Chains A and B, each alone.
Chain A
């Protein structure tokens, strides 16, 4: 009963925050409400027994997306206010479609009919890790993760083609000292998440996202000025996730007998391969997300 009350309050909050973000008059309000919405989503994932997602959402949905949107807000400050369009036409149409969708929810069976979760449980001992989500991401469906790293790289390359000049943010002394205090802690926690991902919720994505948020905090406070695309090793870090993945795939193809499938690790060294691939993927995800969020700063001024 208490849990149902919690669910009711959480769902009502989610809907209210999303609705208010969509309908509020000022864009600043909309972005702030959207960040709060991200935090509530993380809470919902934790409630729905998805701690991996809760960790990732807390770092990505609430942290990085918020920073991204606030950067975009700066550009809107110069724009004239937009007229508010009428609401009734979209409301009628969307309301109709949503009502139909809601009515179709009763068709969803309560019993899951897929045999895949049982298969995951059955093959978990051969995967090299004991946490099922990590096993799926880095072993059973490693293709997804490989292509996802490619998507991240493409997004970064695409964003680099459209540079917009942003006013440089001069660090504020309190936030600079706070970032110095916070960043070693974030580094420690993301390292722990990476290591822990083999046996418990955690892994490359959560660790990468958390590391990225730490790097963004430092970067926004005028530290880590080497962290830009101009630096050769930063480019190598960004590419490193994909390269390590492909190399691991090629090496394990050579180590196995003929007929082995691409991206299937030999059982005896699966744990080590997953850890190596995850470490490089964490660094690649962290650096790519950081570069996506902070963008390319203008060349340093001499006195800065």
Chain B
């Protein structure tokens, strides 16, 4: 019960921390990291919601787990694309 709210709070705070980094920067690489932190917060919210049946002694919600698993792979491919664009940008700036 207490842990449930603890993890929910952590998820929200992670989104907040990521938002702070996204706003402040100053480097673009840090902004990409910040987007990943926001993503981690949202994933954590979903996984914590999937944990609710466990508190009643049932197995965790597998649909949410599958969605987050898909999200993890999509997040890393989006990050890789963003970093490729970033690399191109920095090469041009020279």
Residues of B contacting A101 with CB < 8 Å?
Answer: 12, 15-16
Task: Report the minimal beta-carbon distance from B3 to chain A, rounded to whole angstroms.
Answer: 5
Q: Which of A117, A156, A166, A295 contacts B61 (CB 8 A)?
A: A117
Q: A207 at interface (Cβ–Cβ under 8 A)?
A: no
Cβ B23 vs Cβ A94 within 8 A: yes
Cβ A148 vs Cβ B88 within 8 A: no
Cβ A105 vs Cβ B63 within 8 A: no
Interface size class of chain A, counting residues whose CB lies under 8 Å from the partner chain: 35 or more
With contacts A4-B3, A41-B40 taken as known, whether A75 is within 8 angstroms of B91 at the C-beta atoms is yes
Residues of B contacting A302 with CB < 8 Å?
Answer: none
Q: Which of B12, B34, B51, B88 contacts A22 (CB 8 A)?
A: B34
Task: Report the minimal beta-carbon distance from B13 to chain A, rounded to whole angstroms.
Answer: 6
Contact with B along A19-62 (1 / 0, CB 8 A): 10111000100110010010001001100111011001100110
Q: Which of B24, B88, B93, B94 contacts A85 (CB 8 A)?
A: B24
Main secondary structure on chain A at its contact with chain B? helix
Question: How many residue pairs bridge A and B at CB < 8 Å?
Answer: 250
Residues of A contacting B90 with CB < 8 Å?
Answer: 75-76, 78-79, 164
Cβ B30 vs Cβ A30 within 8 A: yes
Cβ B70 vs Cβ A3 within 8 A: no
Cβ A90 vs Cβ B24 within 8 A: yes
A79 to B91 Cα, complex, angstroms: 10
Which of A64-72, A170-178, A265-273 lies at the interface?
A64-72
Residues of B contacting A65 with CB < 8 Å?
Answer: 36, 76, 79
With contacts A15-B10, A155-B81, A159-B80 taken as known, whether A85 is within 8 angstroms of B72 at the C-beta atoms is no
Residues of A contacting B2 with CB < 8 Å?
Answer: 4
Contact with A along B1-34 (1 / 0, CB 8 A): 1111111111011111111110111110110111
Contact with A along B51-84 (1 / 0, CB 8 A): 1111110111111011111101110111111011
Residues of B contacting A182 with CB < 8 Å?
Answer: none
Residues of A contacting B24 with CB < 8 Å?
Answer: 22, 85, 87, 90
Q: A228 at interface (Cβ–Cβ under 8 A)?
A: no
A158 to B60 Cα, complex, angstroms: 36
Which of A106-114, A231-239, A253-261 lies at the interface?
A106-114
Interface size class of chain B, counting residues whose CB lies under 8 Å from the partner chain: 35 or more
Q: Which of B26, B29, B51, B78 contacts A69 (CB 8 A)?
A: B29
Which partner residue on chain B sits nearest A101 by CB separation? B12
Cβ B66 vs Cβ A137 within 8 A: yes
Contact with B along A192-213 (1 / 0, CB 8 A): 0000000000000100010000
Contact with B along A97-129 (1 / 0, CB 8 A): 110011001001011101011001100000000
Cβ A132 vs Cβ B16 within 8 A: no
Cβ A205 vs Cβ B37 within 8 A: no
A111 to B61 Cα, complex, angstroms: 12
Interface pairs (17), CB distance under 8 Å: A7-B3, A22-B24, A22-B33, A27-B29, A45-B47, A65-B76, A69-B29, A85-B26, A93-B23, A98-B13, A98-B15, A98-B19, A148-B70, A152-B77, A155-B78, A164-B87, A209-B73
- Residues in chain A within 8 A of chain B (CB atoms): 3-4, 7-8, 11, 14-15, 18-19, 21-23, 27, 30-31, 34, 37, 41, 44-45, 48-50, 52-53, 56-57, 60-61, 64-65, 68-69, 71-73, 75-76, 78-79, 82-85, 87, 90-91, 93-95, 97-98, 101-102, 105, 108, 110-112, 114, 116-117, 120-121, 132-133, 135-137, 140-141, 144-145, 148, 151-152, 155-156, 158-159, 162-166, 205, 209, 285, 288-289, 292-293, 295
